[in-house]
Amino acid sequence: MTIKTALILGATGVVGTHLVKELSNSNNYKEIHLVTRREIESKEPNFEVHVVEFDNLVRYADLFNVTDVFICLGTTIKKANRKKLFVKLIMNLLLKRRKWRKPLMLRNFSS
């Protein structure tokens, strides 16, 4: 059995919260890194919380040394003001990932 590790971007949002709950009930992951904009409390022993600046995600590239990445980022279109801005926010983050010097050795990448 492969030892799996995961990283969840946006663990405090609607989708991220459900994923965190699902993974907390699973024994499939040795460690799970929750990447958020703000501090959150986690009582799960295999969860580690990382508060990051999403505008400068490259600084945290080492966090991506996991087997599985789940992207649960987003904002409501109402909060983003326009659908175009909403799409731009998500795409900018994904495109920045391609510029990192160190290649990611991911087995699964879900967004």
Q: Please give the model's pTM, rounded to 2 decimal places.
A: 0.70
Structural domain of 22: 4-110
- Residues 81 and 36: their CA atoms lie apart, in Å, by 22
Give me the CATH number covering residue 35.
Answer: 3.40.50.720
Mean pLDDT confidence for 6-25: 89
B/e letters for 59-74, b = 16+ CB within 10 Å, e = fewer, are ebeebbebbbbbbbbb
- Residues 28 and 26: their CA atoms lie apart, in Å, by 6
The yes-or-no verdict on residue 47 having pLDDT over 90 is yes
Map tokens 């980022």 to a residue. Answer: 73
pLDDT tens digits, 53-111: 877 777 787 888 888 888 887 666 566 566 566 556 656 655 565 555 444 455 555 54
- As for how many domains the chain has, the answer is 1
